[in-house]
Every structure is written in C-alpha cells, then in structure tokens.
Amino acid sequence: MRKIPDERVGNQFDLGASNAPVGVSLIAGLPAVDEFPMAVWERLRTQVLAKKGAHLLRYGSNRGDADLRKAIAAYLCDFRGARCHPDQIVIMAGMQQAILISAMALLNPGEAAWIEDPGFHQARRAFVFAGATVVPRPIDREGIVITRSSKEPSPKIIFVTPSHQFPLGVTMSFRRRTALIDFARDYDAFVLEDDYNSEFCFNGPPLPCLQGLDNSSRVIYAGTMSKILYPSLRLGYLVAPEQLVDSIAKVRSVMDQHSPTIDQATLARFITEGFFLSHVKRMRKLYAERREFFIAEFNKLLDEHFTLQIPETGLHLVAWLRREADFARLARVRAEIGIRPSLLSFFCIRAKLKPAFVFGFAAWSPAQIREGLIKLASALKAKRKINAVGKQSYSYVSPCGYVEN
Ligand SMILES: Cc1ncc(COP(=O)(O)O)c(C=O)c1O
C-alpha cells in the first residue's frame, strides 16, 4: 500500500490533524471542552428528535432553524447590546464560514478587505479565497487604525475584533467604534464584527457590540459557539443589515445549504431552557480562576524571560520576550517539549512587532498549567547551559510557513 506522507500540503491548517496526545500544550484558542455539559446536551437532543422526528432529517432552511434564530436574537439584544430581529440572523458553520460567506456576498474580485494586522489568520485566508485584495491595517491602543492613505484602496469590508482584538487583546475604544461606523458609512463599506469571545470578560460586563451602535446599517455582526460551547460543533451566526440577508442566504445555499438541523434544534433548546446562560456563567468563573492562576505561576516561573500582557477579556495572553536574542532558543524549546504557545509573528502581515508568544490557559486545570509552565521554565534553563557551551543559531519555520531567524 502507498505510504501517505506525514507532511502533506496544507497540513499546518488542518486543526484536527495532529496525533499529539491530549496533554498540556498551552496552545492558544482552545476552550475547556471537558467541562461541556454533554449529558444535558444529549438529553435535549433526544427530546428534540422525539418531538420533531423525521422532520429534522429533511433539508432545513438556509437561513437556519427558526427557533434558534429567535433564541440568538433575544440573547444578543439582552446581553450584547445588539439591535436586531430573528429575520436578520443567518446560521453559519462557525466564524470562518461567516467571514467567507460575507466576503462572497459583498465583494467583487479584487475589491479591498481591510483586516487587522496582527490579526486572525483564518480571516485573512477566507478573504484571499474569496478573491479580495487584503489590506493589513495596524492596531493602536484604541483598536484598528482607520485613517486611509491615498495609496490604499478604500475598503468594501473591514474585519475587526472589537471586544478583544485577536491576538493583542485590545478592546476597541468607544471613540474608535463610532469613528469606524462613520468611516464605513462615508466610504460605502461594511464592518464585519467578529465577537468571538466577549462572554469571557473578567472585569465587569463587556462594552456593547458595534452592531448596537450602528444607525446606518453598516455593521454585520458575527458570533460563534466555538469558544462558548465547543469548536467541533461548527455553529455560528451572522446578524446582517436587512438589505444583505438575501445575498448571504443565497451564498450559503450554493455552498452547503445549511448546518445540521439536529444540532441547530438542540442548540435552540439549550439556549431557551437557560442552559446556555448558566454554562457561560460557570465557564466565566472557571476561566477567571485559571487565568489568575496562570498569571501568578507564569510570573513566578518565567518572569525572567517574558513580560506578560494582561487584557480584561479573552482566553489567551501575549507574553513579550524581554531579550530579543532569546527568540530562536525559545522557538526551539517550544518545538521540543510540546509546550506550544503560538508565535505572535504568525499572525502578522506587515506589522513589525517585538518578539512575543501567545499562550492559551483556558483548556487546562491549574495542575496542568503548572506542569506546562515548569516544563517550559526548566527547558529554558537547560538550553541556556547548552548554549553557553556551544553557541548555535536556529532557523524556525512557523506553522504558517514563515521563516523566523
Ligand atoms: C478571532 C477569532 N474569531 C473566531 C474564532 C472561531 O472561529 P470558528 O467559529 O470558525 O471556530 C477564533 C478561533 O480561534 C478566533 O481566534
């Protein structure tokens, strides 16, 4: 039989391809899936099937389950400051699809999509796939920088993560939010708001979403269940200005019709019966404890190497290297011991930032977090001794294929 090579093209983007044992890796982006109330979900799923029977096995609507759209609209109006009704909601297979479908519905090939730099790499890939000209925009203390140089094409769509800029963690200021909406209106563009984890704000409620501030129908709001529930569910949604709903639903119908009807109906029940809110509440508490523990242990064990940046929201933290000269050593250690924070440079297009690593903390217990950080600290110590004897320089290829020296 022909042997399948380990290193196939695109493997670096296959998030489920790794055969690595499920242990502590401190990789960014993973929620605590082992805390998901599986028994409740299964019970609701059985009830939904018993009630709706074979109806759920037929094709569903390409806008999504009506009960689910109603439940999501109510949640967003009550808890995210959105202003919407269920007819504006189109259920998606997660954020990545929401971005791709928005781009396909709005952009002609070659038109510009402004994206944050550094930013969500899957957004960049989706816009490129849709034929957009991707224009990276820097981030300052208030969020995406929107002043336009005459050399840059004006955007048709502006992709942002206002509650928690990915990956830097900046919360977009109120001033920048209103400026962004005004800018979109003036340039006949749309803002695509990725609100991927505003539920996990640790110092009081998050700022209301951009969509709720928008009086000129310029904001498309996108949410995902990947962080709140679990990523393999592949469910998310768009809240679109009314004039865009038809085009978005049309693209979805060409792409794959709709998301699985049984999961959608189960999620509708999960929300309307109060399990969603109680899960969010419980996870916020759990993540707050893990975050506090991570910060304390990190500073105890690795303060010599990093300065930890601590935003109010989110399930990852950026750690800036104190000495740039340590970068290659750290990248090497990371690959060897399986503690795999992402390189910040992986998320950069033009941005030239100081070397830093992005650590996840949410998916592991305090004992596992300590284990991972001790492993990293000891490996760094051991490496320093080796380097003192025979100095080497390393070249490290990031998962994106960029070469870091
Ligand atoms: C900025 C951002 N948005 C959204 C998501 C979730 O994407 P999806 O819903 O496609 O799983 C992630 C996952 O890491 C993310 O980093």
Average pLDDT, the chain: 90
pLDDT confidence of 10, banded at 50, 70, 90? low
Whether 96 is in the pocket of ligand 1, judged by its Cβ within 6 Å, is: yes
327-337 and 366-389 helices, crossing angle to 10°: 130
The yes-or-no verdict on residue 12 having pLDDT over 70 is: no
pLDDT in tens, 141-179: 999 999 877 788 899 999 999 999 999 999 999 999 999
pLDDT in tens, 43-52: 999 999 999 9
Pairing of strands 190-194, 219-224: parallel
Higher pLDDT, 379 or 238: 238
pLDDT in tens, 333-372: 887 899 999 999 999 999 999 999 999 999 999 999 999 9
The yes-or-no verdict on residue 72 having pLDDT over 80 is: yes
Domains of the chain, start order: 21-34+278-388 (3.90.1150.10), 37-276 (3.40.640.10)
Cα dist from 362 to 19, 281, 293, 294, whole Å: 21, 14, 11, 9
pLDDT at residue 402, as a whole number: 30
Smallest CA separation from ligand 1 atom 7, residue:
95
State in Å: Cα 209 to ligand 1 middle: 17
Outline where DSSP puts E strands in 177-218: 190-194
pLDDT in tens, 258-306: 999 999 999 999 999 999 999 999 999 999 999 999 999 999 999 999 9
pLDDT at residue 174, as a whole number: 95
pLDDT in tens, 93-151: 999 999 999 999 999 999 999 999 999 999 999 999 999 999 999 999 999 999 877 78
Name the one residue in this structure whose structure tokens are 């805390």.
Answer: 35
DSSP 8-state class, residue 308: E
Q: How far apart, in whole angstroms, are the C-alpha atoms of residue 371 and residue 384?
A: 20
| Peptide bond just before 167 cis, omega within 30 deg | yes
Phi first, then psi: give them for residue 221, nearest 5 degrees. -95, 135
State in Å: Cα 96 to ligand 1 middle: 7
Q: Which of 227, 259, 316, 359 to mutate to test the pocket of ligand 1 (most atoms within 8 A of CB)?
A: 227
pLDDT at residue 89, as a whole number: 98
Q: Determine the 3-state secondary structure of 273 from DSSP.
A: coil
Whether 226 is in the pocket of ligand 1, judged by its Cβ within 6 Å, is: yes
Whether 94 is in the pocket of ligand 1, judged by its Cβ within 6 Å, is: yes
Residue 350 contacts by C-beta under 8 Å, 6 or more apart in sequence?
A: 117, 136, 138
- Residue 25: count of CB within 10 angstroms of its CB: 22
Whether 28 is in the pocket of ligand 1, judged by its Cβ within 6 Å, is: no
Q: Which helix or strand (DSSP H or E) is residue 140 part of?
A: strand 139-140
Smallest CA separation from ligand 1 atom 13, residue:
29
Q: Which helix or strand (DSSP H or E) is residue 396 part of?
A: strand 396-397
Q: How far apart, in whole angstroms, are the C-alpha atoms of residue 183 and residue 203?
A: 30
Burial call 63-79: b when 16+ CB within 10 Å, e when fewer: bbbbbbbbbbbebbeeb
Higher pLDDT, 174 or 392: 174
Name the one residue in this structure whose structure tokens are 């297979």.
Answer: 93
